[in-house]
Amino acid sequence: MINGILVINKPSDMTSHDVVDVIRRKFKMKRVGHAGTLDPLATGVLVMLLGKATKKFVEFSSFDKAYLATMALGRTTDTADIRGKVIGEKPFDHIDEKSFRNVLKNFIGEIDQIPPMVSALKYKGKRLYQLAREGVKVDLKPRRICISSLDLIDFSLPNAKIFLECSKGTYVRKIAEDIGTLLGCGACITQIHRTKVGPFDIKEAKDLKDISVADVQNINENDKIVYRL
């Protein structure tokens, strides 16, 4: 039995559960989970829990996270990302770097966020993305999240690249969509890359195709992970 954690650099076009299946097959074990879902569009740090380490799911899921995200201005979609159906297009040429930075200030600190329908959040036993595919609309309640930092990394219309550090339960695609709303032109995510989960950094993440037992970080189920982003 293998007990410990694996820090994976998740590739795009795979669900987090796809990664679980790969590790189960590779290590010939069933007791595998992950802490912090990444959707198929997203890449980056995915912490896998193996064996007795799965008992630490709640603790690991509560970690703060950091992301690099790129958004396209002037376009809104039904999924809040570039892969969704376009539901609106507006001019964006009047948006400059200064006005973009000013809008970012509205999202720093504790804010209320309504989760997107295309998410793994459950409603009456079903994932929201499943309900969205069925055309079911749900009146979702806002949830309190915290954005500890939010910075503009690159501004090249129609694209803007941001870096954010945030609490658990933050939906980056919704942040991008809400930024677009305040700018008055709309926006959707084109790329999300998670760079950190608690103390686990992308620099230590392993590509899925290269993992081995030697990459498992042994951890006792009673160990307390202390970290600061």
1-57 pLDDT tens trace = 788 999 999 999 999 999 999 999 999 999 999 988 898 899 999 999 999 889 888
Assign 158 a pLDDT band (cuts: 50, 70, 90): very high
Q: What is the mean pLDDT of the chain?
A: 89
pLDDT tens by residue, 161-180:
999 999 999 999 999 999 99
In the block, tokens 């509205």 appear at 106
Distance separating alpha carbons of residues 158 and 176, to the nearest angstrom = 13
Q: Where are the domains of the chain?
A: 4-63+198-218, 65-196
**pTM to 2 decimal places:** 0.90
Distance separating alpha carbons of residues 143 and 145, to the nearest angstrom = 6
DSSP run (H or E) holding 90: none
- Is position 78 annotated as part of the catalytic site? no
Distance separating alpha carbons of residues 191 and 161, to the nearest angstrom = 9
DSSP run (H or E) holding 83: none
pLDDT at 229 over 60: no
pLDDT at 154 over 60: yes
Architecture per CATH, 65-196: 2-Layer Sandwich (3.30)
Assign 79 a pLDDT band (cuts: 50, 70, 90): confident
pLDDT at 227 over 60: no
pLDDT tens by residue, 95-124:
999 999 999 999 999 999 987 766 666 766
Fold of 4-63+198-218: Pseudouridine synthase (3.30.2350)
Distance separating alpha carbons of residues 229 and 210, to the nearest angstrom = 27
> Which of 18, 21, 39, 223 is the catalytic position?
39
pLDDT value, residue 78: 86
pLDDT value, residue 116: 74
